[in-house]
Amino acid sequence: MANGKAQLLVADDDQTIRRLLTYQAERIGFTVLCAQDGNEAIELASDQTAVIIVDLNMPEIDGFGCLEIFSKKHPKTPVIVLTAADNAEDAVAAMKLGAFDYITKPFDPDELSAILLKAKRLHRAERENEDLRETINDSGTVEMVASSPEMLQLISQAKKIADLDSTILITGESGVGKGVLARMIHSHSKRVARPFVTISCPAVPRELLESELFGHEKGAFTGATKRRIGKIEAAQGGTLFLDEIGDLPLDLQPKLLNVLQDREFQRVGGTETILADVRIIAATNVDFEKKVKEGSFRSDLFYRLSVIPFEIPPLRNRLDEIQALCQGLLSKIAKRQNTNTRISSEAMKEMRRFDWPGNVRQLENILERAAAFCEDGIIEKGDLPAEIQNHKLSTSSQLLHLGGIPLAELEKEALRQTLELCQGNKAETGRTLGITEKSVYNKIKRHEL
């Protein structure tokens, strides 16, 4: 990424379309390269390209030809195809051959932005998986940084059950490290030598999600020119991580339930029953119990997924871990960018005062940007975004961040005061502290309040 921005490659022989796409993409934070035909697009595509938009109808090498080459040279880069409004058949065929999504001309700016941002998230997840494979190759295991009693206990419990084949459900806000915990469990399990396979449920278009999960047979649908194995089959012997499982469409939920209950499945368009020797870990940032009550998620699937539940607290509730997290993340950034960066005490003080609504993911993004622009390899207070420098902690965070008192006592006192303020209402207490109602009950039990 250039200057911390994701790079988009646009390939279209129509200059007006290229300009319109560039304008909209730059508005949402992309840097854009443009190609006027397929040959130029193939030359410009690189490992730095996060997302590609390619017109299906171009001279010399068309969009289908580009798709074939991109799938071999840049298999982790999502490709969005561009087609005329009356030619949706070609677009769907392209998607079934590997395209991430499609846009029709003339395009809707909001729809384009949504698809681009979803593709960028998918590319980031793939890059994080590559980082994970490097980490496992170097050290053999994945570890989580922790110092608070709550996180240390969570990690200890996760390692104890790592060798079990029980299904695990990890909950927590976006960016808290649900994927890292899943990878840590896999790396400490007897399945570590086998694949760790990830699928992000909302990142895959609905019409492709079933095939992506279960695979398909040749001829199962238009464009299915050969058999393709799905993520479940690719994870055989290892671990399948279902990220944002709360977004799994209702009509696919019975098929996943069958995998969890009977440990078997069939490819789309197939009759052969395949045994699923796979450990499933799911993650979500939504209130599952609410979705079950609303009828958008099956209760039997919820219970099958949450055999062993883990809830990761938000970063604002464990600010004492900021320094250790920064050290670990800067080491990761240094390896990726060949830099050596540290943080000044003033900058660290400001970072420990911030609430981190985007959690660890936000922390990593800010560190990566600050490391790129800081002087002499030292991140100073002035290198941090204005929202961190000018931020004041919420009342609950101030209570948790007072110095000189054990964190467990601070947490207990914060909980006691907030319960009193909310007149014993557990749901209101959770909203005030920025945690779930379930966490409130767990903390009340732990602190014997």
Residues 377 and 407 in one domain: no
- Per-residue pLDDT of 210-253, as tens digits, reads 988 998 888 888 777 778 888 998 889 999 999 999 999 999 99
Residues 191 and 282 in one domain: yes
Q: What is the pLDDT of residue 394?
A: 47
Q: What is the pLDDT of residue 214?
A: 93
Whether residue 134 lies inside any domain: the answer is no
Residues 373 and 421 in one domain: no
Whether residue 96 lies inside any domain: the answer is yes
Residues 201 and 295 in one domain: yes
CATH assignment of the domain containing 418: 1.10.10.60
Whether residue 190 lies inside any domain: the answer is yes
Residue 215 belongs to what domain range? 140-313
Residues 306 and 320 in one domain: no
Q: Please, what are the averages of pLDDT over each run of 10 residues along the chain (449 residues)?
A: 72 90 90 91 88 89 87 84 74 72 81 84 66 48 78 92 94 90 93 88 83 88 78 91 93 94 92 93 90 92 94 89 87 79 91 88 88 88 86 49 52 77 79 75 79
CATH assignment of the domain containing 104: 3.40.50.2300
Phi, psi at 362, each rounded to 5°: -65, -40
Total structural domains within the chain: 4
Whether residue 76 lies inside any domain: the answer is yes
Tell me the three state secondary structure of residue 199. Answer: strand
Q: What is the pLDDT of residue 368?
A: 87
Q: How many CB atoms lie within 10 A of CB 424?
A: 9
In 3-state terms the chain splits into helix, strand, coil percentages (rounded to 5) of 50, 15, 35
Whether residue 60 lies inside any domain: the answer is yes
Residues 171 and 293 in one domain: yes
Q: Determine which helix (DSSP H) or strand (DSSP E) holds 408, and give its type and residue range.
A: helix 407-421
CATH assignment of the domain containing 321: 1.10.8.60
Using an 8 Å Cβ cutoff, are 179 and 281 in contact? no
Strand pairing of 239-243 and 196-200? parallel
Using an 8 Å Cβ cutoff, are 181 and 208 in contact? no
Whether residue 125 lies inside any domain: the answer is no
Q: What is the pLDDT of residue 123?
A: 76
For residue 262, what are its two tokens? 């009977």
Q: What is the pLDDT of residue 276?
A: 93
In angstroms, the CA 76 to CA 161 distance is 32
Whether residue 434 lies inside any domain: the answer is yes
Tell me the three state secondary structure of residue 222. Answer: coil
Greatest Cα-to-Cα distance within the chain, rounded to the nearest angstrom:
73
Residue located via tokens 């999502």? 78
Whether residue 435 lies inside any domain: the answer is yes
Strand order in the sheet with 168-171: 196-200, 239-243, 279-284, 168-171, 308-311
Amino acid of residue 166? S
